[in-house]
Amino acid sequence: MDVASLEKISDYAWRVPRSGRMRVPGVIYADEPLLRAMDDKVLQQVRNVAALPGIVGASYAMPDAHWGYGFPIGGVAAFDPAEGGVVSAGGVGFDISCGVRTLLTGLTRAEVEPHKAALAGTLYRHLPAGVGSTGGVHLSEAAMDDMLCRGARWAVDAGFGDVADLARVEEHGAVAGADPAAVSALAKRRQRDELGTLGSGNHYAEVQEVERVFDTAAAAAFGLAAGEVVLSIHCGSRGLGHQIGTDYLTRMVAAAAQHGISLTDRELACAPIESALGREYLGAMRAGINCALANRQVLTHLARQAFAEVFPQAQLRLLYDVSHNTCKVEEHVVGGARRRLHVHRKGATRALGPGHAALPPELRATGQPVLIGGSMGTASYILVGDARSEAAAFASACHGAGRTMSRTEATRRWQGREVVRSLESQGVLVRSPSLRGVAEEAPGAYKDVSAVVEASEGAGLARRVARVRPMVCIKG
């Protein structure tokens, strides 16, 4: 990206001045090397988002930002319905509520290492992965609608996990306002046998060692210590979420003119929050969020069963579950006034600072765990929400390393078998039904996650708590 058109705010923040149809400025959080390495399309998409009706504050891009559908992946924007604000299906994304949950195993690396191959095989058998993967949960029509309304709460009531898990999930396991009637029959049909599956792409279940602790007080509050082992699960709403995105993008494009919306990019198709279409999409999107929360809850139950076969003493207590690819109604201070806004986070993570009432009491003094996935062969990070993040970007942070190249380009550069062998030589066991999928997710296809996380901390979005390294990766 050419930085000549940007105004430097700090070493980690750059302003995109208003121009053309922009209603607010843009802000890109990154250090200069990360910024220069970003695709120029990110800058254009930040500007396009800034032109949407009812946007407040600024159009933001996180340090892991890269080109996406309509919004950049790593984009954050808030809209005020009182000012004609819109909701955009492209601003949420197709994989609605894709997210990460991390579990504490109570095991050390020294305990796991001798049995790592057995654990990898057992996890691979228990966690369905890959394109079109299906699981052992078949949903009737009534169960589907109940799951879409109650999310992880439905899963716990159905025997998948513990009630204690729900305190460590955003929205206590289910977002309010979901409307199963707004979800198409095709979307429900795609999901009927997909609950409790990882899917494909960048989704995974990864056994990780806590390699380094940066903040001992926050780590203690989270139950983390160097040398201990955690399990992270990264997945979303599968076919249902993708179909919701497809269905409503088509409808929003067709309805734009009747709502008086002139789009700079048809991929930014949107509808006024207070319109019938806007309300209908929000109901469907919230159902998609609940689907993802239920999916990760069922996968947690399956992972616990797998661990119990190899390590009966393992605890697998839930540290936290946090989503990206959402639009949530939140209160934020803008221009000195508290306003109720619809905050889009596409490839961005909520990062509530210390004292926030939405956090469980035992985490309130510390702040929200922010779970950042790296790549199969590199580190991932556990961060904590920073008090400065509210003012910086509506209490948001990055969500991962961020791609540097397309999946097609990655398969031109690497062979899946070669990636698997290389990672095994580094002590990382990969199990996947698709060698092409492994090549698409080769570590070299991603940014340096450590640089992304350091920029997030420097910008005041979230602070580093611990770095974790992969030991076993079950890849979709």
Return d(Cα 295, Cα 209) in angstroms, integer.
24
DSSP 183: S
Cα Rg for the chain, rounded, in angstroms?
Answer: 21
CA distance 447 to 280: 37
CB 68 within 8 A of CB 298: no
Is 72 in contact with 45 (CB distance < 8 Å)? yes
How many C-alpha atoms does 460 have within 13 Å on its Cβ side? 13
Selection from 140, 8, 58, 114 nearest residue 427 by Cα: 114
- The size of the chain, in residues, is 476
Distance CA(124)–CA(298), nearest Å, equals: 15
| Annotation marks residue 356 as catalytic | no
The pairing of beta strand 204-213 with beta strand 462-475: antiparallel
The active-site residue out of 66, 203, 344, 399 is 399
Q: Which helix (H) or strand (E) holds 278?
A: helix 276-310
Give the residue among 69, 106, 7, 12 at the shortest CA–CA distance from 388.
Answer: 12
356 vs 326: CA distance, rounded Å: 19
Residues with active-site annotation: 399
